[in-house]
Structure 1
Amino acid sequence: MFRRTPKRPLFPPGALLVGGAVRDLLRGVQPKDFDWIAPDPERAARDLEAAGEGTAVCLDDERGFWRVVRHGETPLQHDFVPFPPEGLEADLRRRDFTVNALAMDARGEITDPAGGRADLRRRQLRMVSEANLRDDPLRALRAVRLELTLGFGLEGATEAAVRRVGSDQATGRLKLPAWERVGAEWEQLMRHPRAARGVARAGELGLLAVYLPELLEGIGHGQGGFHHLDVYHHNLEALARLLATFPQADEALRWAALLHDVAKPRCESVDERGHRHFYGHDRLGAEMTVKMLARLRLPLERAERAARLVRAHMLPLPRDPQAARRFAHRQRELLPDLLRLMLADREAARGPLASAAARLAYQQAMERVLAALEEQRQLPPQPLLRGPEVMELLGVPPGPVVGAALRLVAEARATGEVSTPAEARALVLTRAQDLRAGQADGEDD
């Protein structure tokens, strides 16, 4: 099982390494975060700092918590806390899972009061006790993340306990963790190559009902047409397809893939022929995405970008080079991520209308957009017209008309309709009446 020999850290005098770093060392994985207990945390931190392991900072002077951080190509973090008054073994028995209830001394001797090494060999995630899970309800969600990232399976009694914790949180019988901690767990889960499996597992264990219940609304909502899955499983499949094709996709794009159709159940209608429609689900989905990611206390910029991708994912792809240039110009801030989302969405749909010919046409449209985007990237950065020139041409003061004219010229340049200042001026004069009436804005409504 343990094929590699990772490098052990420098042990400060009298300090013990505890928790996940010990687990990873035993399974042959190089840790990046180290948790220590030490007789004198400040001295231990200063010793590591003197050894060139990073910069020591005090986290909590009253409780004696210290950290050593090293940035750069190989970032590391060491956290130091005092020895627990109740003793080492009692402290380890208060932890979440047996594979984390381990300690190592400078000689490599292991303290293992809960049988964690045996569970490592079994590749099993087993709770130390259900009381420990309930003491910190975030540990139920952490079980999902660790099961995914470690590649372990939940032991039967532990899985049942996780389900009970999730049920009690969903019904209000057990308090929720701080949302900042919840969001941090979700972020780690979503960064994994098999994030879709982690989300599905959270659903199986009842934890989506606690943290992202909107996703569950899609269960049982069939779609027909291009789709072979209900809304919930289609969202999961889109995320899986995205990561299989674009493993370097950033967090905003991953969230957009997972949530792109989240609003469909709330927008569903059935026409007189029995056909389902989901009008407006892109717009409502964008609003829901912002709210859901804000609930998880994720960065606003990330939430807003994910929402913009969700809002744009239903845009029709262009059928000719001219339309492709216009599409690339109008959506340039979302490209190429928008195309990646649209491709993942299409690849996750294998319904009766999803033919090889339709897929080929879709791929060709994407290639036209990418070609147009590359073409526009090579345009000189200087605009063909500037604001003062527009004001002189049209005889207008600074204001919306000038902005609309500049956008009109920028789009016409991107689509190849104009390429010189003279052509740009002629276009503005030709469209002067529409510009003054506010009808010639080159951007989307």
Structure 2
Amino acid sequence: MKTYLVGGAVRDRLLGQPAGDNDYVVIGETPETMLAAGFKPVGRDFPVFLHPRTGEEYALARTERKSGRGYRGFVVHSDPSVTLEQDLQRRDFTINAIAQAPDGTLVDPYGGAEDLRARVLRHVGPAFVEDPLRALRAARFMARLAALGFAVAPETLALMREMADSGELDALVPERVWQELARALRSARPSAFLRTLREGGALRAVLPEVDALYGVPQRAEFHPEVDTGVHVELVCDMAARLAPGDDTVGFAALTHDLGKALTPVEELPRHVQHEQRGLAPLRALCERLRVPAEHRDLALLACREHLNVHRLPELRDETVHDLLARCDAFRKPERVARLALVCEADKRGRAGLAESDYPQGRELRRLHAAAAAVRGADLAASGLTGPALGEALRKARIAAIAQARRAPPDA
């Protein structure tokens, strides 16, 4: 059986990066011979098998032919005559179209190893435009690879623009858009995802609410970067730095300022009430992409409350309590830490302010801990019930916040 290691495992080893799962392509075999060798079939759309001992994936070499719109509009052909070079030709990027033989020899018909050395993300061939998902994959790969110095080849960006102009991206299903977005938000440079989509003309099709932020000015004394779209890029990268791998925080960072795109022109560069204006487009985005409830809820909180957290030292004790209550912080305490991270990313995601301190985040967590230490069960022991118990609990928690504010932060 002629097998070759392919895809990300080869790419990452050549980059000196930690490798993920091993995937193999098999040449010259049939489903029947794979079953006879003990492999377990798992592929629904094309022949993929699990190794009987290692559980690793082995796929029969195949070609693909476009048959309809969208990334599912393909006819897959697999038989023993399909060559390794033909299988690699159907792949998206040259750096993913490298195979490695069992003896370590590389099979690299499309120059992927050289593109790895040159730090270029380049499509394999003109069939790239047939799969709209590849525009998203290019952007998502850049979210991971930009930190290593990669750039998208100009000719690949040109094909992305062709796909965007043709309307092919409209065929993307929400679940796949969200999957690629979430993976980008878990990467080191989410800003590269946004920039790549925008340069390829695809951001307006995939995330129009975010695309609308570019070119919207902000007050330079608060936002030296001025452009709201650039600010969101900086905030997303800061969120990835503060909460690496947390796409819940990342999504809230991405969407916290959507309301600034709706500021009347005559009010610019001020953005009064942008927090409230941002809630409707945020809900629409979440519904369209079927964003998980946990991500949606934190994003709505961050959109509505981030200026309140920034102004935390100015808020009255009861206002702090009510802010925490709106966050459902006493039932879901993890929200407070995440909200604090989003707000810190917002404050530090500005030109020249990346290393600035954000004491409001620490203080929000400290005041929440003080208030949460007051429990309803303790007050219920005094015989209070119903609305009376709720009001007593609120007053006791406000008192705890006031006492914590009088105490030194490290007391």
Q: Is the 8 A contact 1:320 1:368 kept in 2?
A: no
1:384 Cα offset (Å): 0.7
Structure 1, unmatched stretches of 5+, are 1-12, 50-55, 71-75, 392-401, 419-445
Offset at residue 262 of structure 1 (A): 0.9
Residue 251 of structure 2 corresponds to residue 255 of structure 1: yes
Q: Does 1:80 align with 2:68?
A: no
Write the distance in 1 (CA, Å) between the matches of 2:374 and 2:300: 29
The answer to whether structure 1 residue 409 and structure 2 residue 407 are counterparts is: no
> What SS does structure 2 have at the residue aligned with 1:201?
helix
User: Whole-Å Cα distance in 2 between the matches of residues 48 and 66 of structure 1?
Assistant: 10
CA displacement, residues 152-176 of structure 1 (integer Å, 9 cap, x when unaligned): 22223223222322333xxx26653
SS in 2 for 1:221: coil
Q: CA 1:310 to 1:371, structure 2 compared with 1: closer, same or farther past 3 Å?
A: same
Aligned twin of 2:239:
242
TM-score (norm 1): 0.70
Give 1:256's aligned amino acid: A
1:177 alignment counterpart:
172
Q: Retained in 1: the 8 A contact 2:186–2:240?
A: no
The answer (yes or no) to whether the contact 2:133–2:172 under 8 Å persists in 1 is: yes
Q: CA deviation at 1:208?
A: 0.8
Distance 1:247 1:286 in 2: 23
Give the Cα–Cα distance (whole angstroms) in 1 for the partners of residues 200 and 6 of structure 2. 28
Q: 1:289 aligns with which of 274, 282, 289?
A: 282
- Confirm or deny that 1:15 pairs with 2:3: yes
1:149-164 correspondence to structure 2 within 5 Å: 149-150=144-145, 151=148, 152-164=150-162
Q: Counterpart in 2 of 1:125?
A: 121
Q: Secondary structure at the match of 1:29?
A: coil
Question: Aligned runs of 1:354-433 on 2, under 5 Å?
Answer: 363=358, 365-379=360-374, 382-385=377-380, 389-390=383-384, 402=386, 404-416=387-399
Aligned CA RMSD, in angstroms, stands at 3.6
**Aligned counterparts, 1:255-334, within 5 A:** 255-268=251-264, 270=266, 277-315=270-308, 316-319=311-314, 322-323=317-318, 326=321, 329-330=324-325, 331=327, 332=329, 333=332, 334=335
Kindly tell me the number of residue pairs found equivalent between the two proteins.
366
SS at match of 2:24: strand
Counterpart Cα distance in 1 of 2:24 and 2:32: 12
Match of 1:102 among 98, 102, 125: 98
How far 1:139 moved relative to its partner?
Answer: 1.0
Provide the C-alpha distance between the structure 1 equivalents of 2:160 and 2:394, rounded to a whole number of angstroms. 54
1:404-428 alpha-carbon deviations (Å, 9 max, x no partner): 433322222222279xxxxxxxxxx
Tell me how far apart the structure 2 counterparts of residues 42 and 258 of structure 1 sit (CA, whole Å): 49
Cα distance change, pair 45–20 in 1 and its aligned pair in 2 (3 A): farther
Counterpart of 2:194, as a letter, is V
Letter aligned with residue 412 of structure 1: K
Report deviation, 1:213: 1.3
What's the counterpart of residue 430 of structure 1?
A: none
Q: 1:337 to 1:148 in 2, by over 3 A?
A: closer
Whole-Å separation in 1 of the counterparts to 2:130 and 2:55 = 26
Task: Quote the sequence identity (%).
Answer: 27
